[in-house]
Amino acid sequence: MFATIFPSMESILVISLLLTPVISGLLITLFKRKRIIETTTIISSLLILIQGLFLLSYILEKKTISIFDGTFYLDSLSAIMIITISLVGFLTSLYSVNYMGRQYDKLIVDGKKLVRYYQGFNMFLFTMLLVPVSNNLGIMWIAIEATTLVSVLLIMLYTKQGSIEASWKYLLIATVGLSLALFGIIFFYYANSVYDNSFDSIHGMDWTNMVKNAPYFDPNLVKFAFIFILVGFGTKAGLAPMHTWLPDAHSEAPSPISALLSGVLLNCAFYGLLRFHIISSHSIGPEFSNTLLIILGITSLGIAAASIYFQKDVKRMLAFSSVEHMGIISASVGFGVFLGIYGALLHVINHAVVKTLLFFSSGSISQKYQTKSIADTSGIIKTMPVTGFMFLIGGLAIIGMPPFNIFMSEFLMLSSGFSSGNFLASALMILFLVIIFASFGKHLLHMVFGNPKSEMKKGDLGKFSILPMVILVSIIFVMGIYVPEPLQTLIEDATKIVLVGGVHS
Amino acid sequence: MLEYGLGILQALLIIVLASLIVGIMRKIKAKSQKRIGSGIFQPYYDIVKLLRKDEVVSDQSSWIFRATPWINFVTTASAAFFIPVFLVYSPFGVVGDILLVVGLFALGRFFTMLAGLDVASSFGGLGSSREMMISVLVEPALFMTIFVIALFYGGTNISTIVSSANDTSILVVPGILFALIAFFIIMMAETGKLPFDNPSTHLELTMIHEAMVLEYSGKSLALMEWSHAIKQMILFTLFVDIFFPWNFVEQISLVGISFGIIVFIVKVSALASFTAFIETRVAKWRLFRVSDLIAMAISSSMIGVIFFFL
Amino acid sequence: MDLILPTQIDLLHISAVILLIATFGIVVRRGFSDWLHAYRYQTIILSGIVALIALITGIWELYIVSALTLGIKAIIIPKVLFYVTKKLDSPIKLEINPYVSLRISVIVSALLVAMSYFMALQLPISSDETISVFLPVSFSLFFIGLFIIISRRKALSQIVGLLTIENGLFLFAVVVTHGFSLIIEIGLMADILIGVIISSILLFRMSQTFDSIDIKNLESLRDD
Amino acid sequence: MSENLSILYIIFAFFSLGVTLGLFTRGQKYHAYFTYIPSTFASFLTIILSVTIFSSEDIHLTFFNIQHLFDFEIFIDGVAAFFLLIIGLISFAVSIYSLSYSKKFDDKKNNSALGMLFNVFIISMILVVISNNVFFFLVFWELMSLTSFFLVIYEHENKNNLKSGLTYLVMTHLGTGFIFASFILMYTQTGSFSFDSFRDVAIIPQYVKDIAFVLAFVGFGTKAGMVPLHIWLPKAHPSAPSNVSALMSAVMLKIAIYGIVRYLFDFNAIGSSPDYVWLGVGIVVIGSISALVGILYALVENDIKRALAFSSIENVGIIFIGLGLSVVFAAFHLLSLSVLAFIASMFHTLNHSIFKGLLFMTAGSIHYSTHTKNIEDLGGLIKKMPWTAMMFLIGSIAIIGLPPLNGFIGEWLTLQSLLAVFQIPSNILQVTLAFAILAFALTIGLAGATFVRLFGITFLSKSRSSKAINAVEVPRLMLIGKAILASSCILLGILPFIGINLIVSAFDLPYTPSSPFETISITNTVDGNFASLLMPGVLIVFISVLVGIFAFVRIIGGKTKTIKYGTWDCGFGNLSEKTQYTATSLAEPIRRIFGIFYKSHNDIDVDFYAKENLYLKKSIHVISTTRNIFDEKLYGKVISGSLFVLDKIRKIQSGKVNAYILYIMITLIALLLFVGFGTHE
């Protein structure tokens, strides 16, 4: 229905999408009072969600939007990202009002820190939204680098030892990783410039331009470049050998932020990796990048399987399960079958939803039990029946129990693994999934059931924290059995892009 | 209609002659131990005397204790219906086969063990636990021998076995010989003969079957004794029919049948005296060495199987 | 491309060599302030190179870029870091025993330079003169920076290592793409500046809580 | 056709009614009735549905699809109807039983959750049996495991319930992994997820079907409790509330058998060429081992529900023997024998679900009135709970396979199919299968001993503890529940043709359905009567002999009185219950013979009146324990080994930043080398 109005309507939509978090960030710096900050953040993230949905319906019709002659380019792949970011962002803003509010009352966090938190929160949303929108790869890189810097600020919100260590490691590893990624980008840019005789430096960096010229790139250069990109963005996406920062960063950050980090930021980095996977599969065929993705995917699955059993801290365990799920997504993209990529993109959404639910519920649980260690929390279903139930559903969903949504995407991915012929990788995947099922299940059961150690009065914390969890649980149940129509077509278009790299414009 | 009459006659024959065989065995055992011993018809007098006596029943026990003698008798007596005595085939053969006979014995043994436990005395428990052990080992041996016989004589239906044994009379085949040894050992174990269980004494060390029926008196004791005798008789008849199948009556004639009955009695009493003779020669083995003896029976029937297939 | 006078070619080679020597300077030194001085010289040389490339290729934006690098990287960032080192309350301002002794680290950096030259040969970049000279240098700058982060114990040295990687990256970008559009250039500079500010805040926090900026006491979060 | 469908909808309506009522009537007094009455109606309707399906044709329709490949389709043919019958019959009896059994949980916990999960559990089982698409089969399969898992940890206060719950969940998930792998293998060939595509055999090459069948067999075997993968069963079933463990043991194990039968029958994974023999022999071997191991552990078990769980493993083993034999015979084109073996295993499946459900319900009523499951401190319950004792007796006679009841028929058929092995041409096979007979016969013997022990110690003689003394008979509804199953036990025993005709029509086997009172006869090669059995005839013989002997005793003996007096105590005076045999001592001789298997260990502590005088013993306390070699040796080793390896891998998270950057540098250089050399070839 928007197509009829003059084309600039899309540009207004995109610009407003980007500007809302920036404006609310400014508003927050002006008014310092707690009530106003919270309401502005909620309103801004609600606005983002609505604009995201409009954009989604738009892309469903017109497949792509490109404005300011190519600096901003959206297709169904970036639409999936925007939807996850806006949905999780909105729910996190609701939850952080309750979570930070309680911390504020308990004087863990003072007024200044609260302001800094909400500023960081909005800037985080802005930088993350910038990633899927930008067509120019340099801007995309800067956006991802900015997400790192902003999230470091958010992680070091508390001044205790653990958060300093976590933020230092995160800053160092992420910056090293991203500089590697920049190396790769410049290599691609160089490959583009060397081939294209009518080389205009303005559009050289655009993804659409690169995909168009990809078949003519020099194969060796592309291989070198993709390696740098893979290691660079792989670090940020938490793939195997480079995942070491992830458990520390996610367990030290405040729960709403680690929900954003785990649920959405990893996907943005993987989105960047996916963009370059398309270019390289265009220029030298998908086998090269597929094998690399499978290798990294299976190793990260293996390392996650190895470490979940020994975890003593809930959020570290959840962080390792994010490593596991990013490994599954990258391996199934690597399988390179329509069903597999469809499952992987579906899994991006499912994982974001379930991981956010888990971080929310574990956040309130650790607030009530005043400890993050698994050994001390038990009998949650008794002391906090609603949150306990949510945590149980989230836990069962994350380890792939069927009636929930993750099982559907894992089903698709594993079947694509078998039908694409790499039996060893799929067999390993099933083995690691079972190991993770056993170890995660052990901790989950210990926490949810049994009788609580110290006498604790029954009662959940705050209506606001329950609301986002209820929404998430309903999404998990619905998506477990039925994937809504528009989402199905969106993911199918995105799969067409990734598989064939078919560029519409 | 005549066959059914003969069938019932066959069953009655087994049921009636059972105590006679017990009497003969006791007589021979006494003679071989240089004592006179009671007359061969003494078991009949015992049963009649017991039937007339009042019963003393333990106050701990439940209805199982009182029902077991009846169940025991019914199962063993109805097993007698399927065993051919002088006719080659038993008219009731179509109703049940040798597996049913084994099952009926097992049902009887199950209830006897329960009755042993029911009276809440350590004797009963002792008897049941030892009986449990022996029955656990005897079952496989019994099934293996049945397997061998079924292989050689083509079927588990007793009439088929006996008639094919009668036609072929190939006693010399090694497989059948091993089956014979195994069946003999099982027979001794099943009826509680000496190497396994000493029926005559009431000493805790030796008694298995006696311990379970210790608490019985009057009618129930009579029934228990009688069913034990019938079971022994059935096993003897099976042994005789399968391994020494001489002059069975083909065409039904009065003279043929009476001659058949006489030959049957001679054969069974010969077998009874042989077992009695064996009993006097051997002492009671320690309980846990008994399992090696039954294991020998199992292995011999296994060899029988292998002989058939090779 | 106009004809490059011989003097310009060996000028390029000379400047490449000087840059490598400055990087080795960082690797060899022990004290905090020595690192920062070495880093400052390196950045000055770098901006000189950029100006030289601008002269050769005749692209006027490069002059602005070299001025920018001189301004931000050579002056502001070292000043910030000097300020931070002065404020650190840990008495001794030098690194006693890094993970890899200095002599071995020099050998390793030489190895890394050789490896980057070998890697540069693999790549089919031959056309432009400046690229074939400066590509291996940027690789070696990158790997040496990486090595400094790995082998040093003090947090400050890790920041300097990070900045060396940034310089290598920056050189590679300028050489290969003759400076992509200004927006990205400014974006890069802004990122590095914010990065340094945040890491100095972290340095302050570290020195207050651990009263030494040694990485050794940053090992509590692990899977033992 | 349409009225079958309407019955199906009504069934789902009733079950969901049960679930919703279960949720909303949390605290009220009559919540038990609200949750369990709908489930009784629904399961009754399931029986009717399955019976109608036998006669009319199958239901096959697709409802909706959530993705182009996943469409929710239902296919109820004879095979599904047979298993629907089992589900219906047992859940009908168990729902009536739990109408009053769930009163036990009234005080402690919100037992509406129990009612709700109970209904969801039954629906998911029905849905598993009727679903026709891989995705929905797996979803309902795991939903079934999930609900049964929640029911297992229903009393999650005590620790080992949780532990056994976890082992159960992990083992079933492992099983599902195998099933998933096998279905996907088939999918790769046929390209669609629906079972219909698996059915047209042409396009699937033989070796794929082999691998798929082996994977499916392992997967379904884990759920059925095959030996190497059985350790969860004795842990999970006893910790669930008894009405649920009755359902789990009687019905859920059969759903796993359904899966294997589906593979064997529908996807005819087994071609009829001799090279399938090794598959059949494998199933027979595994079956006999499971039977033997299951019953050996059941014999020495003191917790009544654990013993029943172990005996389920034994019976699943017997079912596998039947299945394996039918595969072996099919491989040698001996069609009639393969049909006989198949009927034997299916008949045993039906029987086992009936008497196992009965036994678990009786165990539940014992637990209901004496609040303990350990038979060591039970005893003398027959006087206090006569009806429950009667039901347990019928159940145990059936499970041992003694003549009048249905267990005997199942056993008799399996033995006949084992005996018919001599018609197989190859000799080596005959000898190996002969060993299977040995194992099977030993199992029958041991089963007899187990249930003598269980029945004898719990019900007979003096009660050993205060709990047993003040036990009281369970309410009437529970008795009705059990009576249904007990009467179907007797019915199937006396008139076995009902069961056999049922199976023949369900699987439409080429077996001439015998007339109602016809004997089950098998003819051997020379068409003599190999074996025949006419159970009604046996009953007539029983009655006539009984009448005969009764008359004889009455005539000869005349009227005699029976006097009640104390048991013979060799004059020592009133015997306390200490002197009678305990459960452990009853099984002691057998434990001694199978010592190598049990590794039994008696620790005896004696205390004396006076330290110096070692002859005056005050008391001797003997605790004899047997160790489960599977738990310690096999699983203990595997788990600790893998944890050791995992521990090594996780050390990379060492906490040092330098190490982390080093990992990145190494990966970079490794990949570059990997690419570097790649480009130059």
Nearest to A188 by CA among A229, A233, A127, A134: A229
pLDDT interval class at D517 (50, 70, 90): very low
* pLDDT score at C2: 54
> Which of A172, A227, A446 shows the shortest C-beta gap to D671?
A227
> Which of C169, C181, C219 shows the shortest C-beta gap to A179?
C169
DSSP B72: H
The pLDDT tens digits for C90-113 are 666 666 677 778 888 888 889 989
In the stretch 237-266 of chain A, residues with CB closer than 8 A to chain D read 241-242, 244-245, 247
Read off the amino acid at residue A84: T
Residue A211, Ramachandran bin (φ over 0: left; ψ between -120 and 50: alpha; else beta)? alpha
Q: What's the number of CA atoms in the CB half-sphere (13 Å) around residue A115?
A: 10
A221/C195 touch (CB, cutoff 8 Å), yes or no: no
Q: What is the average per-residue pLDDT within A288-310?
A: 90
Compute the distance between CA of residue A262 and CA of residue A283 in angstroms, rounded to an integer.
Answer: 32
Contact (CB, 8 A) for B267 and B19: no
Q: What's the number of CA atoms in the CB half-sphere (13 Å) around residue C60?
A: 0
The answer to which of A133-137, A226-230, B142-146, C89-93 has the lowest mean pLDDT is C89-93
Give the contacts of A383 (CB within 8 A, at least 6 positions apart). Answer: A368, A452, A456, A457, A458, A459
Which residues of chain D make contact with B78, given a CB cutoff of 8 A? 538, 541-542, 545
Q: What is the average per-residue pLDDT within A98-127?
A: 87
C209/A164 touch (CB, cutoff 8 Å), yes or no: yes
pLDDT interval class at D597 (50, 70, 90): confident
Nearest to C137 by CA among C115, C116, C158, C164: C116
Full domain range(s) for residue D369: 273-530
Domain membership flag for residue D291 = yes
* pLDDT score at D60: 76
The count of CB pairs under 8 A between chains A and C is: 111
Which residues of chain A make contact with C181, given a CB cutoff of 8 A? 138, 201-202, 205
Average pLDDT value over all residues in chain D: 83
Compute the distance between CA of residue A271 and CA of residue B213 in angstroms, rounded to an integer.
Answer: 84
The pLDDT tens digits for A337-351 are 888 899 999 999 999
Q: What is the average per-residue pLDDT within A37-58?
A: 90
Written as one string, the DSSP assignment of D64-124 is EEEETTEEEEEEE-HHHHHHHHHHHHHHHHHHHHHHHHGGGGTTTS-THHHHHHHHHHHHH
Closest CA in chain D for residue C115: D669
Nearest to C17 by CA among C126, C92, C117: C117
B288/D592 touch (CB, cutoff 8 Å), yes or no: yes
Nearest to C127 by CA among A185, A193, A180, A210: A193
Highest mean pLDDT among A415-424, B103-112, B160-169, D458-467: B103-112
How do the domains of chain A map onto residue ranges? 8-500
Contact partners for chain B, using 3 or more CB pairs closer than 8 A, are: D
| Separation in Å, CA of B48 to nearest CA in chain D | 7
In sequence order, the β-bridge partners of residue D608 are D617
| Separation in Å, CA of A276 to nearest CA in chain C | 19
Nearest to A324 by CA among A346, A302, A341, A344: A302
Q: What's the number of CA atoms in the CB half-sphere (13 Å) around residue C180?
A: 30
Contact (CB, 8 A) for B268 and B240: yes
Compute the distance between CA of residue D179 and CA of residue D215 in angstroms, rounded to an integer.
Answer: 6
For Cα atoms D324, D325, D331, give the angle at the middle one, nearest 5 degrees: 95
* pLDDT score at A505: 34
CB count, 10 Å around CB of D101? 28
The count of CB pairs under 8 A between chains B and D is: 283
Give the contacts of C40 (CB within 8 A, at least 6 positions apart). Answer: C74, C78
| Separation in Å, CA of D189 to nearest CA in chain A | 8
Q: What is the average per-residue pLDDT within D463-468?
A: 80
Contact (CB, 8 A) for A315 and C221: no
pLDDT at position D260 over 80: yes
Interface membership of D656 toward C (CB under 8 Å): yes
Q: Which residue has the tokens 């003896």?
A: B293
pLDDT at position A61 over 90: no
For Cα atoms D233, D235, D236, give the angle at the middle one, nearest 5 degrees: 70
Identify which has the larger pLDDT, D21 or D256: D256
CB count, 10 Å around CB of C224? 11
Q: Which residue has the tokens 């705050």?
A: A462
The stretches of chain C forming alpha helices (DSSP H) are 6-28, 32-57, 61-69, 77-87, 102-122, 129-151, 155-177, 182-210
Interface membership of A441 toward D (CB under 8 Å): yes
Which residues of chain D make contact with B306, given a CB cutoff of 8 A? 431, 434
Closest CA in chain A for residue C131: A190
Task: Count Cβ atoms within 10 A of the Cβ of residue A484 and give its class: 0-12 exposed, 13-18 middle, 19 or more buried.
Answer: exposed
pLDDT interval class at A210 (50, 70, 90): confident
Probe site for chain C from D643, D649, D662 (most C CB atoms < 10 A): D662
pLDDT at position B289 over 80: yes
CA D206 to chain centroid: 32
Contact (CB, 8 A) for D112 and D25: yes
The pLDDT tens digits for D48-61 are 888 888 877 777 77
Full domain range(s) for residue C193: 6-215
Written as one string, the DSSP assignment of A250-277 is HHHS-HHHHHHIIIIIHHHHHHHHHHHH
| Separation in Å, CA of D646 to nearest CA in chain A | 5
Chains D and C touch (3+ CB pairs under 8 A): yes
pLDDT at position B11 over 80: yes
B138/D565 touch (CB, cutoff 8 Å), yes or no: no
* pLDDT score at A323: 92
Closest CA in chain A for residue C138: A183
Q: What is the average per-residue pLDDT within D458-475?
A: 82
Average pLDDT value over all residues in chain B: 85
DSSP D577: G
DSSP A313: B
| Separation in Å, CA of D421 to nearest CA in chain C | 59
pLDDT at position D528 over 70: no
Q: What is the average per-residue pLDDT within A46-63?
A: 89
| Separation in Å, CA of D640 to nearest CA in chain C | 18
Compute the distance between CA of residue D499 and CA of residue D495 in angstroms, rounded to an integer.
Answer: 8
Q: What is the average per-residue pLDDT within D222-251?
A: 88
pLDDT at position A502 over 50: no
Contact (CB, 8 A) for D238 and D305: yes
Give the contacts of D288 (CB within 8 A, at least 6 positions apart). Answer: D317, D321, D435, D436, D439, D440, D443
- When divided into structural domains, chain C yields a total of 1
Q: Model-level pTM?
A: 0.88
Read off the amino acid at residue D412: W
pLDDT at position D516 over 70: no
pLDDT at position A322 over 90: yes
pLDDT interval class at A196 (50, 70, 90): low
ipTM of the complex: 0.85
C176/A221 touch (CB, cutoff 8 Å), yes or no: no
* pLDDT score at D524: 56
Which residues of chain D make contact with C151, given a CB cutoff of 8 A? 658
Write the CA distances from A85 to A80, A92, A485, C178, integer angstroms. 9, 10, 20, 35
Contact (CB, 8 A) for B137 and B297: no
Interface membership of C111 toward D (CB under 8 Å): no
| Backbone torsions φ then ψ of A230, nearest 5 degrees | -60, -45
A165/C220 touch (CB, cutoff 8 Å), yes or no: yes
Written as one string, the DSSP assignment of A121-146 is HHHHHHHHHHHHHB-BHHHHHHHHHH
- Map residue B101 onto helix, strand or coil: helix
pLDDT interval class at A158 (50, 70, 90): confident
B147/D434 touch (CB, cutoff 8 Å), yes or no: yes
The pLDDT tens digits for C12-61 are 888 888 888 888 888 887 777 888 888 888 889 888 888 888 888 777 77
pLDDT interval class at A3 (50, 70, 90): very low
pLDDT at position D306 over 70: yes
| Backbone torsions φ then ψ of D619, nearest 5 degrees | -150, 145
Chains C and B touch (3+ CB pairs under 8 A): no
3-state secondary structure A174-206: HHHHHHHHHHHHHHHHHHHHHHCCCCCHHHHCE
